[in-house]
Amino acid sequence: MNLYSMFADAIRRRSAGTAIVHGGRSLDYAGFDRAAAAVGDFYRTQGCGRGDRVLLFLKNGFEYPVLLLAAIRAGMVVVPVNAKLHPREVAWIAGDAAPKVIVTHGEHVAAITEALSQGVAPKLVAIEDIALPDLSGEAPPAADVAPDDPAWIFYTSGTTGKPKGATLTHRNLVCATVNCLADIFPFHAADRVLHVAPLSHGSGLYLIPSLVRGAENIIWDRPSFQPDEVFDAVAAQGITVFAFVAPTMIVRMLDARPRDDLGSLRGVIYGGATIHLEHIKAAVKRFGPIFHQLYGQGEAPMTISYLPAADHAGADDETLLSAGYVRAGVEVRLVDENDRPVQLGADGEICVRGDVVMKGYWGNPAATAAAIRDGWLHTGDIGHFDSGGRLRVLDRRHDTIISGGTNIYPKEVEDVIAAHPAVREVISFGLPDAEWGESVAVAIVADPAANLGAADILAFCRESLASFKKPKHVFFVDDLPKSAYGKVLRRTLRERFGARKG
């Protein structure tokens, strides 16, 4: 089954209903289907056939959903990459994925062409030269594909090395979509869904179940996420759902001016990183129990576990600190360093099995064999099941700080410090220590008006944190280094402050 076939019912029922809106432009469902079929034909004229890759290096825009899903409709493989990457990084991905076509903004064409490795020669198409075509009459059906044919290659953020291409099949994405609708969020045809995050990432994945249900999808047409502007749109347009937001965006929502005209908003899907306890408490208190948390990764999208909105209402700390319940159709087990299951309640690496797990890393059998062993995807995340049977994600395995032989999870430290009213952002990491092996360090973005010092942070930690977990090094920074996907780069901080310490 071609993933695109899941839209057939919505196209029949909602043919004249609005599918996509961006600024003053829109496409109804019938028009979207015709445009996707025509763009698939365009890709063929550029030399693409079944199984060939189409790379998209684009900011969110009117054409993006069609360009994305047209490749899948035609039996090709779409490779969406983050628009914040450098053209040289895109050229590296192109060398790995070997796309026949790259669609990008005209300003990047020359830089990508120059950076491509010898022998890598995709056709580069500037988005400014594309006008969405429209077939006359009824669009032909989507291409026949095998369930395990690749549909989407999602390149990891590469925080620990070069990106790897998680290969998602039609089976993976059909399973993920069905279970999103069952467990994560019940989109319906009356929804007006706002996409404020990149369609190359989480928001693009949640575009799929939204279209399956016939909802109207509004692509944010401003250059950045400004909460007051976003809330103005919610009030004016009756937005009902934010398709996907990162925790940092929720924190920024808390900085928006107070208002009482957001009653249409019934759902905010969030994930991509852990959220600090004080932040989600404040968000639920201010906006109500409209937050739906997901935990997953590019190798197992939409998703491994979920915490529904109802469970945010009046929740205790243990619930809000968790990543919720294992999703239908997914198995999770926790293992030790020897891949042996740990006892219930003990910490272990989170391993996942099910149809949502990727086929493997594109062109990288060694990385695939390391990640998927005996059918289980090893996520690299450490967690445990809490007293309510919910999965709690503690940290990435390689981020764990080992001090004096004791494991310290950075998030434990971060959750305490994030509760300080003058702390805007905080990240914890380990630095080499001659006596203890590693010691705890934190980098903090503080409110400039607070005149916060290291002694204030240590005193605050003393109230809630065991002595051996307290930071030995406190660094104040203007901002935290982040990847193109918005994830804080602990490695960069370790290198920066480790060199300074030495």
Cβ partners under 8 Å of residue 246, min gap 6: 197, 202, 270, 271, 272, 273, 486
**Residue 502, pLDDT above cutoff 70:** no
Res 411: pLDDT: 86
Q: Is the pLDDT of residue 485 over 70?
A: no
Give the mean pLDDT of 391-414. 84
Question: What pLDDT shows up at residue 484?
Answer: 64
Task: Kindly tell me if the per-residue pLDDT of 21 is higher than 60.
Answer: yes
Tell me phi and psi for residue 381, to 5 degrees.
Answer: -100, 145
Whose CA is closest to 242, among 288, 183, 193, 202?
A: 193
Per the CB < 8 A criterion, the answer to whether 275 and 411 are in contact is: no
Q: Over 80: is that where the pLDDT of 487 sits?
A: no
Give mean pLDDT, residues 154-176: 86
User: Which of 390, 408, 391 lies closest to 399 in space, CA to CA?
Assistant: 408
Spans of all domains in the chain:
1-130+140-170, 400-501
**Contacting residues for 117 by C-beta, under 8 A, at least 6 apart:** 91, 95
Bridge partners, residue 425, by sequence: 445
Residue 452 reports pLDDT greater than 80: yes
Lowest mean pLDDT among 126-135, 234-243, 370-379, 402-411: 402-411
Please, which pLDDT band fits residue 157 given cuts at 50, 70 and 90?
low
Looking at this protein, which amino acid is placed at residue 247? P
Residue 245 — very low, low, confident or very high, per pLDDT cuts 50/70/90? very high
CA dist 80 and 60 (Å) reads: 11
**What percent of the chain has a predicted confidence (pLDDT) above 70?**
98
Mean pLDDT, residues 114-125 = 95
Q: Which letter, b or e, does each residue of 248-266 get, where b requires 16 or more Cβ atoms within 10 Å of its Cβ? A: bbbbbbeebeeeeeeeebe
Q: What are the pLDDT digits (tens) for 307-364?
A: 999 999 999 999 999 999 999 889 999 999 899 999 999 999 999 999 999 999 999 9
Phi, psi of 282, rounded to the nearest 5 degrees: -65, -40
- Taking the C-alpha atoms of residue 438 and residue 431, their distance in angstroms, rounded to an integer, is 5
Burial zone of 324 (CB within 10 Å; 0-12 exposed, 13-18 middle, 19+ buried): buried
How far is it, in rounded angstroms, from Cα 21 to Cα 234?
14
Res 437 pLDDT > 60: yes
**CA angle (175, 181, 186) in 5-degree steps:** 175
Question: Which residue did the predictor score with more confidence, 157 or 234?
Answer: 234
Cα(435)–Cα(429) distance, rounded to whole angstroms?
17
pLDDT value at residue 72? 98
CB-based contact 465:482 (threshold 8 Å): no
Tell me the pLDDT band of 273, cut-offs 50, 70 and 90: confident
Q: 274 falls in which pLDDT band (50, 70, 90)?
A: confident
Q: Rounded mean pLDDT of 442-448?
A: 94
DSSP for 1-64? --GGGGGHHHHHHTTTSEEEEETTEEEEHHHHHHHHHHHHHHHHHTT--TT-EEEEE--S-TTH
Q: One fold for both 1-130+140-170 and 400-501?
A: no
> Does the pLDDT value for residue 440 go beyond 60?
yes
pLDDT at 303: 86
What superfamily in CATH does domain 400-501 come from? ANL, C-terminal domain (3.30.300.30)
**How many residues would you count in the chain?**
502
Q: Choose the CATH number for 1-130+140-170 among 3.30.460.80, 3.40.50.980, 3.40.640.10, 3.40.228.10.
A: 3.40.50.980
Average pLDDT of 150-173?
87
Residue of higher predicted confidence among 156 and 183: 183
475 Cβ partners below 8 Å, 6+ apart? 441, 442, 443, 444, 493, 497
Q: Where are the alpha helices (DSSP H) in 328-440?
A: 365-371, 410-418
Dist CA 86 CA 273 (whole Å):
23
Phi first, then psi: give them for residue 475, nearest 5 degrees: -115, 135
Q: Tell me how far apart the alpha carbons of residues 500 and 502 are, in angstroms, rounded to a whole number.
A: 5
Looking at the predicted structure, is the pLDDT value of residue 67 above 60?
yes
- pLDDT higher than threshold 90 for residue 248: no
Q: Specify which of 77-81, 135-139, 400-404 reaches the highest per-range mean pLDDT.
A: 77-81
CA-CA distance, 401 to 320, in Å (whole number)?
Answer: 24
Q: Is residue 449 a contact partner of residue 416, using CB atoms and an 8 Å limit?
A: no
> How deeply is 187 buried, as exposed, middle or buried, from its count of CB atoms within 10 A (0-12, 13-18, 19+)?
buried
Average pLDDT over the chain reads 93
Q: What is the band of 468 on the pLDDT scale with cuts at 50, 70, 90?
A: confident
Decide if pLDDT at 382 tops 70: yes
